């Protein structure tokens, strides 16, 4: 069944779709079409007409759901923030040890971006741009990720898997930065390799650096004069 048959008013099997369901489906259709256009053209070069064409709707239909192009980007980030980080939390909660929790978090992070390359392209572009349009959304996403990572680090320190002489605030940013750079490199390559395959070597690298056996007791990874 194609998208247009879905919007025709029936599900497979003949069940009637309500107007509310059709509106919700079209809303998400436009969101996904817009992100595809943003990924291909760049946000500032994209137009409402291009988004409408990609979604298979009239230009005017876009304005029934969104105020303008900026609103589309804002709502996409707001929607994805909830969706993606709910999946992160679910995966982390499935594991017991700190290492397994970190492995689940990073693997799911890479999976989410690999499965939605357009999202990955737009996210990386916006995170590195001078635009302040989605700054609040990006900050919220970063805070949620850092909070989850901090929980894992503190558990790892309690378990003796992670060195206790390290600042949690420093380590959690180190982990986020490492994962972000792995994704950015993949995006710049055009997604030519399996991004998820980077999860295990990345977790191994992280634990070799912050693991309890990675340095003599009492050694701190901060140079004199530095603060976390």
Model confidence at 15, pLDDT cuts 50, 70, 90, reads very low
Closest C-alpha to 124, from 192, 103, 114: 114
pLDDT at 216: 39
pLDDT at 211: 63
Q: What tens digit of pLDDT does each residue of 66-89 get? A: 999 999 999 998 888 778 888 999
Residues 6 or more apart whose Cβ sits within 8 Å of residue 125: 38, 42, 43
Domains of the chain by start residue, with CATH: 18-66 (1.10.10.60), 74-215 (1.10.357.10)
Closest C-alpha to 153, from 175, 179, 125, 120: 175
Q: Is the pLDDT of residue 140 over 90?
A: no
Q: Is the pLDDT of residue 214 over 80?
A: no
Average pLDDT taken over every residue of the chain: 84
Percent of the chain with pLDDT over 90: 63
């Amino acid at each position: 069944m194609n998208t247009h048959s879905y919007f025709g008013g029936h599900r497979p099997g003949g069940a009637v779709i309500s107007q509310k369901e059709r509106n919700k489906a079209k809303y998400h259709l436009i969101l996904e079409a817009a992100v595809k256009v943003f990924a291909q053209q760049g946000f500032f070069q994209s137009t409402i007409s291009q988004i409408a064409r990609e979604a298979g709707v009239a230009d005017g239909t876009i304005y029934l759901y969104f105020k303008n192009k900026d609103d589309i980007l804002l709502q996409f980030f707001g929607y994805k923030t909830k969706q993606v980080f709910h999946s992160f939390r679910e995966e982390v909660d499935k594991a017991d040890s700190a290492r397994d929790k970190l492995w689940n978090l990073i693997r799911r992070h890479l999976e989410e971006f690999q499965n939605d390359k357009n999202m990955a392209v737009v996210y990386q572009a916006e995170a590195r741009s001078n635009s302040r349009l989605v700054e609040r959304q990006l900050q919220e996403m970063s805070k949620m990720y850092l909070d989850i990572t901090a929980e894992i680090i503190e558990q790892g320190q309690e378990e003796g898997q992670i060195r206790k002489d390290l600042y949690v605030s420093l380590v959690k940013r180190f982990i986020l930065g490492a994962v972000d750079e792995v994704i950015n490199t993949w995006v710049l390559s055009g997604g030519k390799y399996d991004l998820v395959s980077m999860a295990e070597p990345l977790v191994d690298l992280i634990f070799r650096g912050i693991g309890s056996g990675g340095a003599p007791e009492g050694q701190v990874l901060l140079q004199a004069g530095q603060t976390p």
